[in-house]
Each structure stands twice: as C-alpha cells, then as structure tokens.
Amino acid sequence: MKKSDIRRIVREEVIQLIKEQYLTEAFADPLLAKMNKLGGLDRRWRGTFWDAAAKTYDIAWDKLPKGTLQKKSVTDSSILKPGIMTFWVVKTEKPNIFRTGYASYNVRPGVLAVTLGGKIQYFNRGEGIGAKGRDKEPVGKAERGQLMVKKLKELADETYTFNLGDFRGGTTALKAKRAELKLGKDTFQNAKQWKQANLARYKQILDARVGSRDQVDAMVAKIVKMANKAIETGMEITKMGKYDRLMTTVSGNEVPIENVTDAMGRTLRFYAEFIRSENRAEADKKAGYGDSYNAQQAREIAGTIKKIMMAFDRGDANNLNRY
C-alpha cells in the first residue's frame, strides 16, 4: 500500500473519530449517542441521518432529553404505530438468511434500518429522508432482500423508539412558541425575561404586606421557584404535546407550559389580593371589628393558593388550570 493511501485512510479515520465525538457530546440522550456510534446511519454521498432527519422533520437532536429513546422488543406492536420512529439494531453478527444477488453473506452489528410509522426510511436524492422512491438509498445497513419490516423483525435483536410527533418542530415551531410566554398581560421572548419579571412582581407584592404571614409567603415562594424551573426546562428541551402545545416537566409529569404560566399569573394575583385583605383585616381588628369579612376573605384566598401549590407538587396539569 502506498504512503499516500495510508495517509488518506488515517485522515478519514481521524475525521470520523472527531465527528463521532462531536455527535456524542451533542446528544443529551445517551441512547441517541449509542445509535450514532453503532454505525450504519451515514452515507458517504448523502451525509448523516441526523442532518437529513433534522431537515425533513425539524428536529433539534441536541435538545432531546435523556429518556427520549425507549428500548423495545422487535415483537412489540407499538414500534410500528403512526408517528413512531424506530431504530432496528443488530447486536451480533449473523448469517444473512435473506441474501440475494450480490448481498453480503452475513449481517453485521449496527443500525439495520430506521422506520417511521412502520415505513422504512430512505435518504432522498437531494437532502432529507422519506419513504421509498427512485434513486434513494435506505437509512441503515440493510441490503437488498432485507428491506421489509417482517424481515427486519427476524434480523434485528432489539429496537429503540420515540414519538416523533412529540419533538417535531424543534427548531422552527419552538422559536414561534417562545414568543408566547405570558405573565399577566405581558409577553416575554425567553425564559430569562419571564423569570425576572416573575420575581420582580413577587417582590413588589411582598413589599406591600404588613406584619408577618410566613405560611402564605412560603407557599408563594415555592410556587415561584417551581414555575421558574419548569419554564427554564420547557424552553431548553423541545417537546410538543397534544394539539401542538409546548410541554415542560413539573414534579416528574409533563405539563403544557401555558398551564404553568397561567397558574403563576393567577397565584401572583391571588397573593396581591391576600395581602390587601390581610392589611384591611389588621385595620378592622384595631378598630374592634373582630373576625371581619376581610379576614375571612384572606383565609379563602390562602386556601386557593395552597391548592395551586399542591397542583405544582403533584405535577397536576388539570388542577393547575382549575384554581
């Protein structure tokens, strides 16, 4: 072998290692990094699967959180449902029982194929991926004679799946949604602005209090902290829910971001009403009116704030909207 050939091979290997390292570091979900490392998802003239899928389905792969991919058996019927993207993986080398023509005698480890809704995905002639068509190459290592789902089930050892619909629109749709972070009548462009406004309003209301109301103050402070965390998480991770709603996580449960922002806005409004009622109740007490209407109203508002806090504690999307 010529020195020039050796240098070329070394150069190609170094480029591949750098690319693999970059992609591994870019994935938040280690299983996505694993799919990339297994091999079979690139085509020399077509580019990478990740770039092609990102262009076609508008996915921000680096924003998909840990736990996005789920390992499932090849016999699990859910892997072929509409909207489900499935990576078919071969773990150990085995005979190619569907060999035809010039196909390989053995099936080697790696990603054999990728399906979407049970349809095998192909690299488009230009860019992107999609269903089978003329002059298209299949995504994965599968060869002629293997490109049928029933054959993939016999050749693959395991699959990894995720619901594409939950994450589609990771770049374009998310940017549009980010302009809809509301707090009261105001709209904010990003999580940082929303959090700053939230804290400023909380402190402004807190400064208006007279005396000590530690229990209610603590509940509102907890809601502010949980809401801020939920907004930050939701704006970092691209996930779309039912009816194309941007989702976040509250106490381990998926909740629409709008439920969080609405609940936070109502909490601050209730908190301001609570402090006004308490201040009036203090004045009533000094005037000798005893247990006044204002004191009763303050207790009712405190109860509502407690219910909102409990909804945050449970990650209860319905009750976040209820009170």
Q: Tens of pLDDT along 251-265?
A: 888 888 889 989 999
* 93 and 176 in a common domain: no
Q: What is the pLDDT of residue 128?
A: 81
* 255 and 227 in a common domain: yes
* 231 and 183 in a common domain: yes
Which two tokens mark 260?
Answer: 């969080």
* 147 and 177 in a common domain: no
* 130 and 13 in a common domain: yes
Mean pLDDT of 29-39: 89
Structure confidence at residue 56 as a pLDDT band (50, 70, 90): confident
- Please determine, for residue 210, whether its predicted confidence score (pLDDT) is greater than 50: no
* 131 and 75 in a common domain: yes
- Please determine, for residue 170, whether its predicted confidence score (pLDDT) is greater than 80: no
* 92 and 24 in a common domain: yes
Q: Final residue of a domain: which of 151, 167, 183?
A: 167
Mean pLDDT of 166-172: 65
* 134 and 200 in a common domain: no
Q: What is the pLDDT of residue 20?
A: 46
If one compares 49 and 1, the residue with the highest pLDDT of the two is: 49
- Annotate 40-107 with DSSP letters as a single string: -SEETTTEEHHHHHHHHH---GGGPPTT-SEEE-TT-GGGGSTTEEEEEEE-S-EE-TT--TT--SEE
Structure confidence at residue 180 as a pLDDT band (50, 70, 90): low
* 210 and 128 in a common domain: no
* 179 and 76 in a common domain: no
DSSP state of 108: P
- Please determine, for residue 230, whether its predicted confidence score (pLDDT) is greater than 80: yes
Q: Tens digit of pLDDT for each residue in 36-47? A: 888 888 765 657
Which two tokens mark 171?
Answer: 């770049």
Range of the domain at 216: 172-322
Amino acid (1-letter code) at residue 274: F
Q: Final residue of a domain: which of 145, 167, 189?
A: 167
Mean pLDDT of 199-209: 71
* 57 and 98 in a common domain: yes
* 274 and 143 in a common domain: no
In percent, the amount of the chain with pLDDT more than 70 equals: 76
The domain total for the chain is 2
Q: Final residue of a domain: which of 99, 132, 167?
A: 167
